[in-house]
Every structure is written in structure tokens, then in C-alpha cells.
């Protein structure tokens, strides 16, 4: 992953962190990503949320519509990855509780 850590990626992440609303995120990601890339990321994050809640691969496949190979990769990252899914899931679930 060291090749990922560089000044250009830092600038991209700084740009993402500078976005101030959901609408700004939509605008930015629609410009930067293809519709398929956004949908893929959305499905992976949804799978991570469901796996974190204890859902089975079969259930996640039915609800999210992704392959078991992708679910396996998400699960591996959720449990043994860098911790990004955990941070995001905890923060999103914290926001849902406040609403």
C-alpha cells in the first residue's frame, strides 16, 4: 500500500475532505468517477454494513446484488484491513442514532 501514499493521493483526499455537503459530494464524485465506480463503492460499503450486523453472504448477495467474491473481499477488509470500514461504519451509525 505504500505506493498509494503519495502527494497526489494526499491532494485528492484533501479535496474530498474539503467537501461540505452531500450535494457537493455528489457533484465531485460524478465528475471524478464513472457511475459504475460510484455504484460499486456504494455496494461494497452497504455490504460492509450488513456484514458488520452479522448478515450472511447469501443475505448480502440478495440485498446488495454483488458476488460472493466481492463480499469475501469486503469481509476480509472489514475484519483484517486498515480499519477504514470500521471508522466509517461507526460514524455513520452514530449519525443515524442522533437523527
pTM value is 0.88
Shared domain check, 57 and 22: no
DSSP string of 9-42, one letter each residue: HHHHHHHHHH--SHHHHHHHHHHHS-HHHHHHHH
Query: In the prediction, which pLDDT does 4 show?
Result: 87
Shared domain check, 62 and 23: no
Query: In the prediction, which pLDDT does 3 show?
Result: 84
Taking alpha carbons only, the member of 27, 8, 9, 11 closest to residue 19 is: 27
pLDDT per residue as tens, the chain (99 positions): 568 899 999 999 999 999 999 999 999 999 999 999 999 999 999 999 999 999 999 999 999 999 999 999 999 999 999 999 999 999 999 866 555
Query: In the prediction, which pLDDT does 52 show?
Result: 97
Which CATH number characterizes residue 76's domain? Answer: 1.10.1270.10
Domain range holding 49? Answer: 34-98
Query: In the prediction, which pLDDT does 99 show?
Result: 53
Query: In the prediction, which pLDDT does 76 show?
Result: 98
Shared domain check, 61 and 17: no
Q: What is the tally of structural domains in the chain? A: 2
Shared domain check, 48 and 22: no
Shared domain check, 38 and 27: no
Shared domain check, 51 and 87: yes
Amino acid at each position: 500500500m505504500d505506493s498509494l501514499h503519495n502527494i497526489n493521493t494526499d491532494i485528492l483526499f484533501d479535496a474530498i475532505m474539503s467537501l461540505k455537503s452531500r450535494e457537493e459530494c455528489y457533484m465531485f464524485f460524478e465528475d471524478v468517477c464513472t457511475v459504475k465506480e460510484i455504484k460499486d463503492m456504494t455496494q461494497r460499503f452497504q455490504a460492509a454494513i450488513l456484514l458488520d450486523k452479522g448478515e450472511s453472504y447469501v443475505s448480502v448477495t440478495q440485498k446488495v446484488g454483488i458476488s460472493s467474491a466481492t463480499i469475501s473481499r469486503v469481509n476480509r477488509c472489514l475484519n483484517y484491513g486498515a480499519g477504514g470500514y470500521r471508522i466509517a461504519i461507526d460514524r455513520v451509525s452514530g449519525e443515524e442514532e442522533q437523527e
